[in-house]
Amino acid sequence: MASEPQSHRGDGGGLPAVGRRELLRGTAVVAGGVVLGGLFQPAPALAAPVIYNPFSGYRITDGWQEHIDRGSAGGVDFAMSVGTNLPACGAGTISNLPNNGTAGHTVTINHSDGYRSQYLHLSQFLLANGTSVASGAIVGRSGGAAGAPGSGSSTGPHLHWHMIDPAGRRINPLTYVSPTPPLDLWKDDMRLIQSTNRGIALVGPGYFRQLRSDEEVHAAVALVGNPLVGNDRQFDLWRSIAFDGQVKAPSA
């Protein structure tokens, strides 16, 4: 049996991570105000981006608090083999940081209002700087093997994920996760959706088509872009949304 991948021992610099109390306070501000003396006071706050967890199917090997306890600026590590596709946790634009110190190859997703998400220790970048992506677009491939190009200080294959707020502080991405990735369908828009056991499908308002060959998948990607990737439950919810609440099984 293979040994468990070890986590890296350094995540690079940056301002201190947001503590639990400050995070709760920040959440109140994001919600639109603060409570002072029993009165709700509106505040001009920056709204946190809508994100989802593309890695919910992977085991967490090193959580946020574990990072903090050993002196890291914060992050969440997921065990995964080298070369795993990394979907964007939310919409934004891409910035690639090759050989970013102990973080190694790092891809940054620049969200709205100054928030950023970063994936560390990549084995491969896939998109050019400045590329606009939707939730679920594949932005790189995981790495982390000890001594491999792009691994930084990592000592075993895994993905490190953290977010950065507009003040430059690392924050726990799992605090901001929406239960289901957004699926925006307007007029005649079509989207690809994908999960491990459901495969890939093309959906639109009142429309669902299971794609059963590589040729179909390649043609669909060329038309509508990369699929939105989630777990099987999320796939079923997206299909339900496409059918306006009526879940229909794919045709045989």
Q: What is the Cα–Cα distance from 116 to 22, expressed in whole angstroms? A: 18
Residue 235 belongs to a domain: yes
Residue 100 belongs to a domain: yes
pTM of the model: 0.60
pLDDT exceeds cutoff 60 at 20: no
What pLDDT, on the 0 to 100 scale, is given for residue 17? 55
Question: Residue 111: in which H helix or E strand, if any?
Answer: none
Residue 40 belongs to a domain: no
Q: Which domain holds residue 210?
A: 191-242
Shared domain check, 139 and 57: yes
Residue 90 belongs to a domain: yes
Most confidently modeled range among 39-53, 121-135, 174-188, 234-248: 121-135
Q: What is the Cα–Cα distance from 43 to 31, expressed in whole angstroms? A: 9
Shared domain check, 146 and 97: yes
Shared domain check, 83 and 126: yes
Shared domain check, 129 and 93: yes
Q: How many domains does the chain have?
A: 2
Shared domain check, 154 and 114: yes
Shared domain check, 50 and 129: yes
Shared domain check, 210 and 169: no
pLDDT confidence tier of residue 35, bands split at 50, 70 and 90: very low
pLDDT confidence tier of residue 251, bands split at 50, 70 and 90: very low
What pLDDT, on the 0 to 100 scale, is given for residue 170? 94
CATH of the domain at 172: 2.70.70.10
Sequence-distant (≥ 6) Cβ neighbours of residue 232 within 8 angstroms:
195, 196, 197, 198
Shared domain check, 78 and 52: yes
Shared domain check, 159 and 75: yes
Shared domain check, 94 and 150: yes
Q: Amino acid identity, residue 209? A: R
Residue 23 belongs to a domain: no
What pLDDT, on the 0 to 100 scale, is given for residue 183? 54
pLDDT exceeds cutoff 80 at 162: yes
What pLDDT, on the 0 to 100 scale, is given for residue 203? 87
Residue 80 belongs to a domain: yes
Q: What is the Cα–Cα distance from 93 to 153, expressed in whole angstroms? A: 26
Q: What is residue 109's three-state secondary structure? A: strand
Q: Model confidence over 96-122: pLDDT tens digits? A: 999 999 999 999 999 988 999 999 999
Shared domain check, 152 and 95: yes
Most confidently modeled range among 8-12, 25-29, 209-213: 209-213
User: Which one of 130, 151, 176 terminates a domain?
Assistant: 176
Q: What is residue 221's three-state secondary structure? A: helix
pLDDT confidence tier of residue 25, bands split at 50, 70 and 90: very low
Shared domain check, 171 and 200: no
In the Cβ-directed half-sphere of 187, how many Cα atoms lie within 13 Å?
0
